Amino acid sequence: MREKPDWLTSHGRPWVRGPARTVYENPWITVTEYAATAPTGAPATYGLVSFRNYAVAILPLFEDGTTLLVGQHRFPSGDYSWEIPEGGGPLGDDPLESARRELAEEAGLQAAEWREILRAQLSNSVTDEQAFGYLATGLSAAGVDHAADDTEDLRTVRIPFREALDAAMAGDLPDMLTVAMLLKAYHMAREGTLPPELALAMMGQGTVDRPGGTDEPAT
């Protein structure tokens, strides 16, 4: 285990939470307003969005260096978003089991090997949402049908990893977990912490048009 530098272990005064009141809640979130004291000693009113689930993100990587993205309309942004398979899991559940379920539901896949490569805080100025990211390899079709959420209308596309990374860097894949996971996998490939054959396949480029108009990796 690496030794942490001093700046990672030195901390100032924390926020102090005072009286709280619930402003809004539903099955997914609770909004709480606190009378708080800032680290500077100044009084403040703070609104906190607490999530009843953590987020899970899965980057599926095939042996040929391709990955799979899921497309859907997102309500908050009002646009269409291509993302790696993502979802949520109850706070008391094992995040890996939630990731397995989401990969099956959204991508119709199961993985022989799982590796946690990311833990993240999402919008940590206003929410307490935590995220877990997994690299999934040894992919095959899921053996059991998993019903998707009845509000989801999903599409999938299988493309070269480098094409997905380039799209993220161009701003065409703005979902932050997708960006973070693609960059982490790229870093791992460059640093030699992925199998060499897989890393080389990920760095390759080029697609061919297949019948039906779907771009698939050249072989």
pLDDT band at 219 (very low <50, low <70, confident <90, very high): very low
Domain count, the chain: 2
Residue 93 lies in a domain: yes
Domain that holds residue 37: 12-51
Q: What is the pLDDT of residue 3?
A: 82
Q: Find the CATH number of the domain harbouring 172.
A: 3.90.79.10
Pick the range with the lowest mean pLDDT from 27-31, 147-151, 196-200: 147-151
Read off the pLDDT of residues 36-91 as tens digits, 9 standing for 90 and up: 999 999 999 999 999 999 999 999 999 999 999 999 999 989 999 999 999 999 99
Same domain flag for 92 and 110: yes
Spatial CA neighbour of 37 closest among 15, 22, 58: 15
Same domain flag for 67 and 128: yes
- What Rg value do the Cα atoms of the chain yield, rounded? 20
**With 90 as the cut, is the pLDDT of residue 98 above it?**
yes
pLDDT band at 145 (very low <50, low <70, confident <90, very high): low
Spatial CA neighbour of 21 closest among 48, 52, 55, 43: 48
pTM over the 0.85 mark = yes
Helix (H) or strand (E) holding 216: strand 215-217
Same domain flag for 44 and 71: no
Residue 19 lies in a domain: yes
Q: What is the pLDDT of residue 214?
A: 42
Residue 191 lies in a domain: yes
Same domain flag for 73 and 161: yes
Residue 165 lies in a domain: yes
